Structure formats: structure tokens, C-alpha cells
Amino acid sequence: MSRIGKEPVRIPKGVEVAVSDKNVVTVKGPKGTLKETIDPAIKVAVEEGTITFSRPTDLKHHRAMHGLYRALVSNMVEGVTKGFKTEQELVGVGYRATTKGQQLHLSLGFSHNVVLELPKEVSVAAVQEKGKSPVVTLESINKQVLGAVAAKIRSLRKPEPYKGKGIRFVGENIRRKAGKAAGK
């Protein structure tokens, strides 16, 4: 059995979980509502404050789906109760970030500013303190969407190993390389 898949998901107080006939799991909580369509082979049961998952066989596909859907539903339950948050810092001279509604305007050393239109599920805030790198904070109840948006922002200017300039997650350690050796 999958170690992740066989562990039940606990439902905290104030969260409602419903499973429809078409294997669509709906999770409602204080922060919002999320839906996920589950593979028909995986059986979902809601009972006494827990959600359990079972698979029909030990085929590789069923084992993979068992753990996957348990993790997805667990993230949904956590998202509607606490939510998810990531912080990214822009390291580099002249790097700036500003927000206007659901748009994130980034100045990353290109000849033009980069404008990203963010999905409505993600809220964004940009903080710029004097003497520190700008920090972009993303918050959402959907972990998948949040991760995709954070990866897209990071891909615009990945941290380079020589000076460490680029967009990195707060607390991320960048492996640095030595530059050219000194003259002979």
C-alpha cells in the first residue's frame, strides 16, 4: 500500500467535504471552495471527520493515483482552512516590483518592464524597503495555481550562480561559483 495514500485526511471543524456520483470532491471552508475530479478507479469515502482513499488493484497506475489524489485533497483541506503563501525576492541592481490590481509589473534589467496578469485565485503584494531587495508575496487557497504562478515569475530571471542576481524564493540557498581566476 502507498504510505501516503492509506493515511486518512482529517477534516477540521468548519470544513465541509462532499463527493458527487462522478467522483468530484468539493471542499468548502472559511477561505473558499475548491473542487477536484478524482479518477473513477480510486474510491473516496467521507466518514466521521476523515476522508479515506482506496484503490482496486496494485497496478502501478492505481498506486500512483492513490497517493496523488490523497495529497491533492489534503492540500485542498489545508488551503480552505489556512491558505498558502510564497515569498520571492528580486536580487539585482534596479530590480523593482509593483502591483496594480491583478497585474504584477516587474523591472528586471530588460529594455522593457514585464507585466504579468495573475489568476483571480492568487492575491499579490509587492513590498520595497530602502536598502533591501523587493519582495513579492503571493497568497492563494489553491496550492497548484500558486506554485505555477510562482514558478512562472521565477522563470523570468532565474538566479545566476556568479553574482546571485535574479528572482529567488525567500530563504532559498543559491550555490555560488567562483569567477575567473586571478591573473598569472
CATH of the domain at 124: 3.90.930.12
Find all residues with CB under 8 Å of 99, minimum gap 6, and list them: 105, 124, 125, 126
Q: What is the grid cell recorded at 144?
A: 497548484
> Within 13 Å of residue 171, how many CA atoms lie on the same side as its CB?
2
Question: Which of 60, 81, 102 delimits the end of a domain?
Answer: 81
Q: 53 and 102, same structural domain?
A: no
CA–CA separation, 55 and 66 (whole Å):
6
18 and 74 housed in the same domain: yes
Q: Domain for residue 162, yes or no?
A: yes
Q: Are 77 and 15 in contact (CB under 8 A)?
A: yes
Give Dmax over CA atoms of the chain in angstroms. 75
Residue 106 placed within a domain? yes
Residues 42 and 106 in one domain: no
The tens place of each residue's pLDDT in the chain, 184 residues long, gives: 468 888 999 999 999 999 998 889 999 999 999 999 999 999 999 998 999 999 999 899 998 899 999 999 999 999 999 999 999 999 999 899 999 999 999 999 999 999 999 999 999 999 998 889 999 999 999 999 999 999 999 999 999 999 889 999 998 898 988 888 755 5
pTM for the whole structure: 0.88
Q: Which range of residues forms the domain containing residue 45?
A: 3-81
Strand, coil or helix: what is 99? Answer: strand
177 assigned to some structural domain: no
Question: Are residues 57 and 129 located together in one domain of the fold?
Answer: no
CA distance 128 to 86: 16
**Sequence-distant (≥ 6) Cβ neighbours of residue 31 within 8 angstroms:** 79, 80, 81, 82, 83, 141
Domain count, the chain: 2
Domain termination residue (choose one: 81, 112, 128): 81
